[in-house]
Structure 1
């Protein structure tokens, strides 16, 4: 049986899916895949037997993607699995940014002696806030989470302006037509009373919101980061708060630089921590993993192109290779030279890597054994795998 190694507490829905589909979880056998949430794999030794790493969540900065890509290990995430949970925490944070709820709760709990009701009523003026209605929310990143936040903010009678450098047809369908589309990040920063960031953490996006960006925000604006630690330069945000350029900063990622600051609210990375989100993400992760290991189809990969074709032949050969010229012709010629008829060939590329999926019906045991070793010897081929259609 195929062993799946897990880190962190993975929802039983995902684990049950795997066990009912013939997998073992955390046995002594060499693992074929890793399923995790927030474990830092940069410090882990990943066995040569591993063919896939799946994160039950959207972010993947805790996974050494570049290293695994060179080894032919497919890295998956589960975009959208926790989108509703993060959206709800973002909306809650918007309210906390508008109303001093945290301080008011502390005041109410600390009031003792005499007529408590009267004392709290008399002193509640110190906790006066503002309403979200009529204010402008800027949303940077209109993906699964950002689009939900933008649409919900409209229902709160806010004006919403959004920016996404990768705006495409799918994104456009997700967002309400009343959301203004900014042409640049600066446009969002300059117009918004509240700014919320929903982009992935990549090398390019490190400190996406830094001192220069903060200087362009409206005086007294609020900044929210429910996306990833490192998206905002926390030291720059602290400086902006100290200089009264920024009114409040709310983040889901703890940083010692922000501790005990009166204008900062920190939550302990709970954006996706709901029962529903953990169930949904774990089940998505389990299905994607099973699909890849049994059919060769890649869905929601962060390092290789997606290919999701019906498996209608008896066999498939999946070939992960570098994205260089002449690879498809070399692969096709190889099969032809060895008397193997290709029923269908699918190829996709993204960045430096490509994936070719070859569908075959007539495939002898001798041919299968030879193909695996010989294909791997073609320059720029990283990994070859054979798949058998059990339902054929």
Structure 2
């Protein structure tokens, strides 16, 4: 029986993925958490906690290293809200091109009267906009969201220039061959009417779009950041706007530096806020959790490598341990000394930690407990689990 604890409101369609072998919110000493935006950075994790699944792509609310020290795998749901973000980005580009916000505000504030129709016809020219057809958009980052944005912009008749030095094979398959591939951000943005950023936030991407990159853009360029706060340097944006070196800035992340400006439009972090996205992410998170708890397979982890193998043997031993020399040797030597036959072994590392799955023959229940206890005694081993094939 596995115990699941939820934080925030998790879509019921996601919780419905859990079967009879699971209990939801019946104890704080859970096997797994399903969360959205709750801040876990100062929270102590119970030793029972084997997994945290974030219903969304971002995971800066989770202390990854602390989770590893506890033997807890952290998952996210990349792509679960990608379509929702894509649609908001496209909507924002249309809003920016057609002066929709200013026009709607004018209509809302216009005094009613017999002359309203005449006034509208006379003053509507001040809201003249441009069309997306034929315009150039630079898409920085061509992952789940970026690839959808790029393809949608092509469908709207735009010229699309993409940049992603870490483009995966899967992402490449999702992209139209009509997208121009740039060799650098500078090449991507130099002729762009729109620049939209879709990269994960990390040490390398923090401040990715700053003075030097903005200097490569046209003074009329409209910049969009619907990835994460900090990827675009807001101070550099304000300076560029003040000096007439940038057209407008649209973002999903509020910051005091960019408040109260007519040339900046801030959305209240609604990129993934659709009913469909919340359901998709909850289902993905639940399925990742179930797969891990029942088979040991890891997919979409952010603090350990993805490790997957068919579970065809009688039993499987999984270990989270430090990525140091001779760990596999110590583990396999112990198992051999217990006359336990290894049918399959998979090991992958990510940074300072690694994950090992070992498939073995049938052994008795008492022996199982002994094996787990002794493997846990190996220095640098954080967690050992013993799974039985159903």
Q: If the length of structure 2 is used for normalisation, what is the TM-score?
A: 0.96
User: Does the alignment pair 1:304 with 2:279?
Assistant: no
Q: Kindly report which structure 2 residues correspond to 1:34-113, keeping only aligned pairs within 5 A, or say none.
A: 34-112=33-111, 113=113
Kindly report the root-mean-square deviation, in angstroms, between the aligned alpha carbons of the 2 structures.
Answer: 1.4
The CA distance in 1 between the partners of 2:144 and 2:28, in whole Å, is 37
Report if aligned partners of 2:5, 2:27 keep a CA contact under 8 Å in 1: no
The CA distance in 2 between the partners of 1:75 and 1:380, in whole Å, is 19
Q: Kindly report which structure 2 residues correspond to 1:196-275, keeping only aligned pairs within 5 A, or say none.
A: 196-275=196-275
Residues 262-319 of structure 1: CA distance to partner in whole angstroms, max 9, x if unpaired? 0111111111111111111100100110111111111111111112222112211001
Unaligned runs of 5+ in 1: none
Question: Per the alignment, in what secondary structure is the counterpart of residue 107 of structure 1?
Answer: helix
CA positional deviation for 1:352: 2.2
Report if aligned partners of 2:314, 2:360 keep a CA contact under 8 Å in 1: yes
Residues 303-355 of structure 1: CA distance to partner in whole angstroms, max 9, x if unpaired? 11112222112211001122223222222211111111112111222222221
Q: Kindly report which structure 2 residues correspond to 1:219-368, keeping only aligned pairs within 5 A, or say none.
A: 219-368=219-368
Which 4+ residue blocks in structure 1 deviate beyond 6 angstroms? none
The CA distance in 2 between the partners of 1:375 and 1:228, in whole Å, is 41
Report if aligned partners of 1:315, 1:386 keep a CA contact under 8 Å in 2: yes
Question: Per the alignment, in what secondary structure is the counterpart of residue 191 of structure 1?
Answer: coil
The CA distance in 1 between the partners of 2:118 and 2:224, in whole Å, is 35
Residues 54-105 of structure 1: CA distance to partner in whole angstroms, max 9, x if unpaired? 1011111111112212322100001111111111001111112212100000
Q: Kindly report which structure 2 residues correspond to 1:22-37, keeping only aligned pairs within 5 A, or say none.
A: 22-37=21-36
Question: Per the alignment, in what secondary structure is the counterpart of residue 231 of structure 1?
Answer: coil
CA positional deviation for 1:365: 2.2
Question: Per the alignment, in what secondary structure is the counterpart of residue 343 of structure 1?
Answer: strand
In structure 1, the partner of 2:145 is: 145
The number of residue pairs the alignment matches comes to 389
Question: Per the alignment, in what secondary structure is the counterpart of residue 16 of structure 2?
Answer: helix
The CA distance in 1 between the partners of 2:322 and 2:68, in whole Å, is 10
Question: Per the alignment, in what secondary structure is the counterpart of residue 17 of structure 1?
Answer: coil
| Range with bigger deviation, 59-68 or 193-202 | 59-68
Report if aligned partners of 1:240, 1:246 keep a CA contact under 8 Å in 2: yes
Report if aligned partners of 1:61, 1:202 keep a CA contact under 8 Å in 2: no
Residues 132-189 of structure 1: CA distance to partner in whole angstroms, max 9, x if unpaired? 1111100111000000000010111111111112113222111100101111112112
The CA distance in 2 between the partners of 1:116 and 1:217, in whole Å, is 40
CA positional deviation for 1:3: 2.2
- 1:21–1:177 CA distance, 2 compared to 1 (3 A): farther
Unaligned runs of 5+ in 2: none
The CA distance in 2 between the partners of 1:242 and 1:24, in whole Å, is 56
CA positional deviation for 1:29: 4.5
CA positional deviation for 1:121: 1.2
Q: Kindly report which structure 2 residues correspond to 1:141-180, keeping only aligned pairs within 5 A, or say none.
A: 141-180=141-180
The CA distance in 1 between the partners of 2:191 and 2:381, in whole Å, is 50
Question: Per the alignment, in what secondary structure is the counterpart of residue 292 of structure 1?
Answer: helix
